[in-house]
Amino acid sequence: MPSADGWLVEAALALEEADAAAAHGDVPVGAVVVDADGALLGRGHNRREIDRDPTAHAELVALRAAAAVRGSWRLSGATLVVTLEPCAMCAGALVNARVSRVVFGARDPKAGAVRSLFRVADDARLNHRLEIVEGVRADEAAARLRAFFGALRAAGEK
């Protein structure tokens, strides 16, 4: 399994996407999809608030963009790099898209479905499993989330 250090450039792009989400009031989560050669296929950030769409998670936005570039829903050989551990919906989408690897930053103890609460991405009962790399730039990702939710609490919104 590649080390977490091998994904620093892609994680930086995902952090940029997280910042874009925060800029329009969404939870700062960002994601990018790269092919087996490292070429960028798609990028995205949370857009639930701006799009008024409960499925507009960073991972799904990036997967949709990557599928459009590939011209196929099958993303075999691709890696999704995301700032926060995917939820059940997003982990399921990664399995269904046949993504080869997920690389994530911070764990999500309340909704994480790759390691924290569930292990959807490598569940042997499913027809596809992903390689998992965790902890890439986790401190930076977690700091963005803490700042975002801290600001909401300070404003009396959370």
The residues, ordered by sequence, that sit 6+ positions from 66 with a Cβ below 8 Å of its Cβ are 33, 41, 42, 75, 78
The one catalytic residue in 10, 17, 59, 85 is: 59
Stretch 11-29: mean pLDDT, rounded? 97
The Cα 155–Cα 96 span in angstroms is: 39
Q: Token pair of 142, please?
A: 């977690």
Decide if 121 contacts 91 (C-beta within 8 A): yes
* 3-class SS of residue 74: coil
**CA–CA distance from 144 to each of 8, 10, 15, 70, 136 (Å)?**
17, 17, 9, 31, 14
Q: Which pLDDT belongs to residue 1?
A: 41
- Helix (H) / strand (E) element for 45: namely strand 40-45
Q: What percent of the chain has pLDDT over 90?
A: 92
| 16 in active site | no
pTM of the model: 0.95
Stretch 48-68: mean pLDDT, rounded? 98
pLDDT in tens, 112-150: 999 999 999 999 999 999 999 999 999 999 999 999 999
* Furthest C-alpha separation in the chain: 46
The pLDDT mean for the chain works out to: 95
Q: Which pLDDT belongs to residue 29?
A: 98
